[in-house]
Amino acid sequence: MKLTTILPEIWRMDGGAAFGVIPKTMWSKFYEPDDKNCIVMTNRCLLVESEDRLVLVETGFGSKRNEKYYQFKYIFERPGLKATIEKAGYKPEDITDVIFTHLHDDHCGGAVDRIAEDQYSIVCPNAKHHVSRAQYESATNPNIREAASFFNDNIDPLKDAGLLNLIEEESELFPGFGLILKNAHTAGQMLPKITTEKGTFVYMSDFIPSVAHISPVWIASVDIDPMLALKEKEAFLREAVDNDYTLVFEHDPVHEACKVEENVKGFVGVPVNLD
């Protein structure tokens, strides 16, 4: 399999939201904040090409919302999903499958474009779009904390077109392409686990959004269950060390991926490149 990352958007997020109870004096050593206390974030999507499939993991924000909404996302580079797919040497029509790790707007908003009031077009029209059933049910009947992150127009056009597939449990979706379910950030967050001749790669999404979040106690304030996040991360990081996983980061502006090692201080991330 061939793995290629693309960046449809680069934006900024409040550092306190990204790192929770971790003091600014600590997290700012990794990512320098601006005068609004915001740090740079990428929407790093992943293209996975095999002999018979071209899979896209995540789609970024898209551009369906109004100016007021994006004003507080601080997007400062936006080549867009279509342009970045084409820059990588493909066409949106080539995509056979789209994986949503979850349905927060920065992860799935780019899958559907608005062309007029109540009229939409699907960016990857030939692709089946996969999300966990637990996340779909959470997004369509959201808790009050997450409600502002979910939008019906990100998902309803896909469902209406018969392009939505709900994943019930952890499984191998295709040969060499597995799915891991985690629940601390949001219900049924789905992490792709890709096995190639070069090793095993796991796409981190918001489970471990950056190399700075490798420490189990560095937990974003947007996670719905911090204690579960700690337990899930500890178990996964042990698995990552034992099996030599490469972690691929969606939101880290500096590091595309890392290996995980363990020393006397605990788990640490060792940055690597995918190529």
Half-sphere exposure (Cβ direction) of 128: Cα atoms closer than 13 Å: 8
pLDDT value at residue 157: 97
Residue owning tokens 């699907």: 122
pLDDT in tens, 65-114: 998 999 889 999 999 999 999 999 999 999 999 999 999 999 999 999 99
Interhelix angle 152-160/133-140, nearest 10 degrees:
120
Determine the Cα–Cα distance for residues 69 and 51; give it in Å rounded to an integer: 40
Query: What φ, ψ does residue 115 adopt, rounded to 5°?
Result: -105, -20
Determine the Cα–Cα distance for residues 125 and 270; give it in Å rounded to an integer: 38
Model confidence at 274, pLDDT cuts 50, 70, 90, reads confident
Residues of 81-115 as b/e, b for ≥16 C-beta within 10 angstroms?
beebbeeeebebebbbbbbbbbbbbbbbbbbbbee
DSSP conformation class of 184? S
The CA-atom distances, in angstroms, between 248 and each of 138, 146, 252, 274 are 25, 25, 9, 8
Q: Between β-strands 246-248 and 199-203, what pairing exists: parallel, antiparallel or unpaired? A: parallel
pLDDT value at residue 265: 87
The CA-atom distances, in angstroms, between 42 and each of 9, 109, 178, 232, 254 are 6, 15, 24, 24, 9
Structural contact between residues 47 and 54, judged by C-beta atoms closer than 8 angstroms: yes
pLDDT value at residue 201: 98
pLDDT value at residue 118: 85
What is the model's pTM?
A: 0.96
Instruction: Judge whether residue 247 has pLDDT over 80.
Output: yes
- Show the DSSP H helices in the chain as ranges: 15-19, 24-27, 67-71, 81-87, 105-108, 133-140, 152-160, 226-243
Model confidence at 146, pLDDT cuts 50, 70, 90, reads very high
Altogether, the residues listed in the chain come to a count of 275
Instruction: Judge whether residue 275 has pLDDT over 80.
Output: no
Average pLDDT over residues 192-198: 96
Please choose, from the candidates 264, 206, 205, 204, the residue with its C-alpha nearest in 3D space to the C-alpha of residue 237: 204
Reading the block at residue 84, the tokens are 């970045």
Contacts of 233 (CB under 8 A, 6+ apart): 207, 208, 216, 219
Please choose, from the candidates 108, 160, 101, the residue with its C-alpha nearest in 3D space to the C-alpha of residue 131: 101
Residue ranges of domains in the chain, CATH in brackets? 2-272 (3.60.15.10)
User: Which residue type sits at 61?
Assistant: F
Chain mean position to CA 137: 19
3 state SS for 195-208: EECCEEEEECCCCC
